[in-house]
Amino acid sequence: MVNTNLVNYIRTNLAKGFSIYSIKQRLLAQGVSDYEIKEAILALNRPQRLRSPPLPSGVVKPFY
């Protein structure tokens, strides 16, 4: 499971202009595992899933 706090930390620091390399080095120095960092970076790069809006209840479409 991806650590959302870590994802938010990386996102915030990228927005501040820090490179992914410098963010990763700082996290490694603080004891965060390389695996956790990579998972968080991958989560940042994944497209968000779009949910289809629910169909209105009581509406039935005919087959013909």
pLDDT digits (tens, 9 = 90+) for 6-53: 999 999 999 999 999 999 999 999 999 999 999 999 999 887 665 656
Residue with tokens 């013909």: 64
Domain boundaries, the chain: 4-45
Can you give the pLDDT at residue 30?
Answer: 97
Can you give the pLDDT at residue 46?
Answer: 81
**Reduced to 3 states, what is the DSSP secondary structure of residue 20?**
helix
Phi and psi, residue 11, nearest 5°: -60, -45
| DSSP 8-state code for residue 43 | H
- CA atoms of 5 and 56, how far apart (whole Å): 36
Can you give the pLDDT at residue 1?
Answer: 84
Can you give the pLDDT at residue 48?
Answer: 62
The pTM of the full predicted model, rounded to 2 decimals, is: 0.70
